[in-house]
Amino acid sequence: MKPFKKLGGNAGIYLGANVLNAGVPFLLLPLLTRILSPADYGAIAMFAIVLSIMGAFTGLSVHGAISVRYFQMEKERLAEYVGACMAILAVSTALVFITVLLCAQPVTELSGLPLDWVLVAIVLSGLQFIANIRLVLYQVSGQANRYGAFQIGQTVLNATLSLILVLSVGLAWQGRLIGQATAVALFGVAAAYLLYKDGLLLRPHNLKLLAGDALRFGVPMIPHTLGALLIVAVDRIVITKVLGLATAGIYMVALQMGQVVGLLTDSFNKAYAPWLMKRLADKDNVPRRAIVRGTYVYFVVVVSVALAIGAAAPWFLPLLVGNSFAPAAQLIIYTTLGFAFSGCYYMVTNYIFFESKTALLAMVTAVVGLLNVPLTIELVKANGAAGAGMAFMLTQFASFAGTWWLAHRTHPMPWLRAIVGTA
């Protein structure tokens, strides 16, 4: 019972931190939706997409390897490994920056953002990568309190600066993005300092060996990351091009409400993933049926929560965001279910990470992501913004189902016997 109690305790801390972290933007929502236009919200949504896309290439997703190597390396060796990952970050960020400068016109046309904001997104993605390393190490070492403090601090600074710049200075969407950029930059620098101070950042003696290991883990994750972005980002790009920035802003509000479910699932997974890794590493004493049965309970709970929020949205959303964004209420059932299926995906993808089969995972995600492009285009043309929500929900389910199948192939668990068996 003690391992389960510790899991519940850490999950509670992560949930509390995530509630506070997500609560600030939700508190801002009624204010910003009454000050900013739907088109302003659309610009903010597109910046978030660009930031995510750049993040797939700056650092080449090697920070994920750190969470696995933490359990396999001594502290000094791990610190050199982190140093190798930082070297990869520096080179990859510079290459992305140069590439965007050379392809400025198509990038700005596709994103709908000025070039300077695209370049800002590249730099911020690199700084966020450093913050993610610090957060990953807090997570795998069980330091949930420090994880939460770091996360909340960044969010509070982001929100405070955004309010000042939007309400007092009148900078509209630019003020919101300046607040976000400043917070990410300061906490990225702080993360680098904390890594060095805690002895977790050293110059690697064998850069080629360590960087090669990190790249073997991270590079196969790039198609996975891009596939995931195709799943979660194509909807906003298509809406912007077909229906305009204003509709993209309304859709963004629906996504923010759907993220209530994402908040719950992400909080649990932050505690669950390290707990599961430790259990799986002890090959002779893994409570397999108990884990599987608990997973099924989790599936039922998150889907039920998603349905409840979606059903209630038409009554509470207009009061929360005002009439300009009220049409988002009809989309929330799709976004909450989409985030619920994403939470179910987290529960099964951990087995693939444990077996380091990231290349196979990337194939599944990339295929689903590519299928999402024509699906979103056709559904948006047929059903407007609701079509984007439908596509988001369906592709999240497809990603979950495909990953579940792959997880069973790479690390079999008693998914059927846990239901029909008695032990």
Do 194 and 244 fall within a single domain?
no
Residue 176 CA: distances (Å) to CA of 161, 232, 252, 315, 322: 8, 22, 15, 28, 19
More confident residue, 152 or 335: 335
- Total of domains in the chain: 2
Residue 44 belongs to a domain: yes
- Of 162, 196, 216, the last residue of a domain is 216
Q: What percent of the chain is predicted at pLDDT more than 70?
A: 92
Cα maximum dimension of the chain: 65
Do 321 and 384 fall within a single domain?
yes
Do 172 and 45 fall within a single domain?
yes
Do 155 and 184 fall within a single domain?
yes
Helices vs strands, H then E, count in the chain: 16, 0
Do 418 and 313 fall within a single domain?
yes
Residue 339 belongs to a domain: yes
Do 173 and 46 fall within a single domain?
yes
Predicted confidence band at 188 (pLDDT cuts at 50, 70, 90)?
very high
Do 185 and 319 fall within a single domain?
no
Classified as helix, coil or strand, 228 is helix
Residue 18 belongs to a domain: no
| Pick from 26-40, 383-397, 399-413: least confident | 26-40
Residue 31 belongs to a domain: no
DSSP at 101:
H
pTM: 0.70
Residue 374 belongs to a domain: yes
Question: Hey, what are 112's tokens?
Answer: 């709908």
The predicted pLDDT at position 25 comes to: 67
- Of 156, 181, 216, the last residue of a domain is 216
Q: Is 70 exposed, middle or buried (0-12, 13-18, 19+ CB in 10 A)?
A: buried
Predicted confidence band at 89 (pLDDT cuts at 50, 70, 90)?
very high
Predicted confidence band at 18 (pLDDT cuts at 50, 70, 90)?
low
Tally of CA atoms within 13 A in the half-sphere of 96 that contains its CB: 25
Average pLDDT over residues 139-155: 86
| Distance, CA of 135 to CA of 290 (rounded, Å) | 29
Picking from 372, 139, 344, 152, the residue whose alpha carbon sits closest to that of residue 261 is 344
Residue 282 belongs to a domain: yes
Do 164 and 81 fall within a single domain?
yes
Q: pLDDT for 327-379, tens place per residue?
A: 888 999 999 999 999 999 999 998 988 887 777 887 888 888 888 889 999 99
| Residue 132, pLDDT above cutoff 80 | yes
- Of 216, 247, 274, the last residue of a domain is 216
User: Look-up: residue for tokens 């047929």?
Assistant: 382
Predicted confidence band at 300 (pLDDT cuts at 50, 70, 90)?
very high
The predicted pLDDT at position 7 comes to: 52
The predicted pLDDT at position 421 comes to: 59
| Distance, CA of 231 to CA of 226 (rounded, Å) | 9
Do 192 and 313 fall within a single domain?
no
- Domain hosting 191: range is 36-216
Do 211 and 245 fall within a single domain?
no
Q: What percent of the chain is predicted at pLDDT more than 90?
A: 39
| Residue 222, pLDDT above cutoff 90 | no
| Residue 325, pLDDT above cutoff 90 | no
DSSP string for 156-197: HHHHHHHHIIIIIS--HHHHHHHHHHHHHHHHHHHHHHHHHH
Tell me the one-letter amino acid at 368. V
Do 268 and 363 fall within a single domain?
yes
DSSP at 59:
S
Average pLDDT over residues 163-181: 89
The predicted pLDDT at position 296 comes to: 94
User: Look-up: residue for tokens 């739907």?
Assistant: 38
Query: Residue 143: phi, psi to the nearest 5?
Result: -90, 65
Tell me the one-letter amino acid at 134. R
Average pLDDT over residues 302-328: 87
Average pLDDT over residues 265-272: 82
Residue 8 belongs to a domain: no
Structural contact between residues 312 and 329, judged by C-beta atoms closer than 8 angstroms: no
359: left (phi over 0), alpha (psi -120 to 50) or beta: alpha
Residue 2 belongs to a domain: no
SS3 track for 309-376: HHHHHHHHHHHHHCHHHHHHHHHHHHHHHHHHHHHHHHHHHHHHHHCCCHHHHHHHHHHHHHHHHHHH
Do 369 and 390 fall within a single domain?
yes
